[in-house]
Amino acid sequence: MWEQIREFFADEVVRERSVAVLIALVGFVFARLISRAVEGLVRRQGGPQAALLARRLSFYLVLGVAVMVALDRLGLDLGVLLGAAGVLTVAIGFASQTSASNVVSGLFLMGERPFGIGDAIQVAGVEGEVLSIDWLSVKLRTWQNTFVRIPNETIIKSEVINLTRFPIRRVDLFLDVAYDQSLEEVERVLLDLCYRLEFVLAEPAAFVRVSEFGASGMRVGLLAWVQSRNFIEHRTRLLTEVKRAFDSEGIVIPFQQIVVHQSNEDAQPGH
Amino acid sequence: MADPVFEAIEYLATTRVQWTLGPLRLQAQARPPGLWVEARRSGDPFDPGWAREELSAEDGDGDEGPPVIFQRLFAGFTPPFMVNLRPRLADRPIITRPEMEVVLGPGVSTDVYLSSPLWIEVCVGGEALCELPTWRASDTWFGPDTTHGVLGYAGRTSLRTQRSEVYDTPSRVATLATISNRQSRPVVLDRVALPMPNMGVYRDRDGRFWSDSVRVHCLEDKEAEVTITAPKSAQGLALERVGGPREIARSDGFLEAFSAVMRGTS
């Protein structure tokens, strides 16, 4: 058996090919180790998306070098290969302008960092949590648990709203109250409610303002601060509690109504 | 000090215990496949109640009374097992705002007593299962603007200067804060942030809880700095340390920024 193996490797071509395969394999393992180490280093400084990018970049760089050394071992002329690669690159470049644009946009995104993995964002009419920021696209998970891929170029060209960049957010609730209602009373009820609800921040303090006189009532705004995390739940709970407080205090939220005045002349019979 | 509230209890198949911890009413019952924990909270943050009571199976479920704020079944415990409570401090800073405008003259230093709700940890076999505040204070924000700062719990104080004026209920933790103005002009003290996660908890002979003390220095070049120190021995209290901090403060003992907000007098 050993004799057969020795004979097999006695052939120089087989030996060289085996060494080339070994170099590629060792290169693969080495690339994984290096890329993980780089990811760990970058994560501390630049966050998860930069770490992901650094890992991929270092992995393919080390693997590429190993593959080139392996090909060189096989006797392939790397000059010719690189020349062919250059021509191929130009051809691919023309054929993949959109992809190239996305890659460049991705680099800008990673440099500018308007959002990170785990942030909740709103972009191009889509709202969701950022799952990954890749070379060509950003992947989102929407609140309906659907997966959305948005090309980097679209993100660069669009308005991006990061909903969780800051730990606190303001809830703006606008409510109509009847004209015969005392504004001071409405303000007292709303601010007392905010004081009682533990999820409404004591500071910055909530405040009430009248924004306009509408067709059916006065438009009153309650502007209260809550944690950005669970914003939707906080907003919903605040709305529910406002309704409950208004009901218990006898404050009426008016609905659309039209008052029709009939002139006396029209009302007289016989005309 | 011996306090039945914090003594370990051996749970058998029918054991059911209720603790009254100020406004918090905590109940734990052995229920297959583990331990059932339920908590209710009354509306008075300074409720003086403090007791432990073993209930029998005949006692009602106590549906009446304050609303339920917590219910959980911790699986994986087969009687007999030991259950005990442990005192803790809040998991976020307590941001205290004086009820009246307080002005500190240049070079002036004053001692004030602040109070915050005690937190309680439920443990089985010495391992923590869950923790609850005896009173849930409102959330608040502490920082120079709405983009930089920390989340904390809101508190208000009338800046008591005598130890005897501190709320005499075991469900509150008293903190002695020494506030000194090292500026050359008078300042108005707007808010003080007590770094509760970095402080240890102590108990005196009378059963009152104390945290580490803090020294808040209003400096010329910065807003303020805070140093955490063991409770002053000069207070004449025989204090026993009953819990350590959640997080270790920086080795130099100083906490970065945001310990107090002051403004100049106008």
Q: Is A152 helix (H, G, I), strand (E, B) or coil?
A: helix
CA distance A172 to A74: 69
Name the residue type at position B7.
E
CA distance A92 to A86: 10
B141·A225 Cβ contact <8 A = yes
- A203: nearest CB among B137, B140, B147: B140
Percent of chain A exceeding pLDDT 70 equals 95
A168·B142 Cβ contact <8 A = no
pLDDT for the residue A28: 92
CA distance B139 to B151: 7
pLDDT for the residue A11: 78
Smallest CA–CA separation between B175 and chain A, in Å? 21
pLDDT for the residue A56: 84
Which is nearest to B72 in space by CA: B112, B35, B30, B113?
A: B35
CA distance A36 to B248: 30
B139·A198 Cβ contact <8 A = yes
B146·A225 Cβ contact <8 A = yes
Q: Which two tokens stand for residue A103?
A: 């890659």
- The pLDDT profile of chain B, 266 residues, written as one tens digit per residue, is 578 899 999 998 888 999 999 999 999 999 888 999 999 998 888 889 999 999 876 666 656 678 899 999 999 999 899 999 999 999 999 998 888 878 888 989 988 888 899 999 999 998 999 999 999 999 999 888 899 888 999 987 767 777 777 777 889 999 988 888 888 888 888 888 888 999 999 998 888 899 999 888 887 765 677 888 888 654 566 888 999 899 876 544 434 444 555 555 55
Chain B contact present for A206, CB below 8 A: no
Q: What is the dihedral of CA B134, B138, B143, B148, to 10 degrees?
A: 100
Q: Check if the interface score ipTM surpasses 0.90.
A: no
pLDDT for the residue A119: 92
B residues 78-107 closer than 8 Å to A (CB): 95, 97
Per the CB < 8 A criterion, the answer to whether B197 and B203 are in contact is no
CB contacts, 8 Å: B138 with chain A: 195, 197-202
Longest distance between any two alpha carbons in chain B, whole Å: 68
Percent of chain A exceeding pLDDT 90 equals 43
Could you tell me how many CB contacts below 8 A there are between chain A and chain B?
Answer: 42
pLDDT digits (tens, 9 = 90+) for A195-248: 999 999 999 999 999 988 988 889 999 999 999 988 999 999 999 999 999 999
Smallest CA–CA separation between B206 and chain A, in Å? 31
pLDDT for the residue B261: 58
Q: Which of B139, B142, B192 to mutate to test the interface with A (most CBs of A within 10 A)?
A: B139
pLDDT for the residue B252: 43
Per the CB < 8 A criterion, the answer to whether B89 and B197 are in contact is yes
CA distance B224 to A212: 43
pLDDT for the residue A221: 94
pLDDT digits (tens, 9 = 90+) for A50-65: 787 788 888 999 998 8
Chain B contact present for A198, CB below 8 A: yes
Smallest CA–CA separation between B137 and chain A, in Å? 6
Per the CB < 8 A criterion, the answer to whether B23 and B42 are in contact is yes
pLDDT for the residue B6: 93
pLDDT for the residue B264: 57
pLDDT digits (tens, 9 = 90+) for A101-122: 888 888 888 788 899 899 999 9
pLDDT for the residue B221: 64
Cα A26 to its chain centre, rounded Å, is 37
Q: What is the pTM of this model?
A: 0.75
DSSP codes, A105-146: HHHHHHHH-S--TT-EEEETTEEEEEEEE-SSEEEEEETTS-
Mean pLDDT of chain A: 86
pLDDT for the residue A76: 78
Which is nearest to B123 in space by CA: B86, B90, B95, B157?
A: B86
Q: Which of B140, B191, B258, B261 to mutate to test the interface with A (most CBs of A within 10 A)?
A: B140
A residues 167-196 closer than 8 Å to B (CB): 167-168, 195
pLDDT for the residue A268: 56
A225·B147 Cβ contact <8 A = no
pLDDT for the residue B257: 43
B176: number of Cβ within 10 Å: 22
pLDDT for the residue B191: 83
Smallest CA–CA separation between A45 and chain B, in Å? 19
CA distance A148 to A109: 18
pLDDT for the residue B7: 92
Chain B contact present for A225, CB below 8 A: yes
Chain B contact present for A205, CB below 8 A: no
Confidence of residue A43 (pLDDT cuts 50, 70, 90): confident
B154·A202 Cβ contact <8 A = yes
CB contacts, 8 Å: B151 with chain A: 167-168, 227
Smallest CA–CA separation between B152 and chain A, in Å? 9
Q: Is B20 helix (H, G, I), strand (E, B) or coil?
A: strand
pLDDT for the residue A267: 54
CA distance A74 to A89: 24
Smallest CA–CA separation between B138 and chain A, in Å? 4
Q: Is B109 helix (H, G, I), strand (E, B) or coil?
A: strand
- Non-local (6+) Cβ contacts of A175 within 8 A are A219, A220, A221, A222, A242, A253
pLDDT digits (tens, 9 = 90+) for A168-199: 999 999 999 988 889 999 999 999 999 999 99
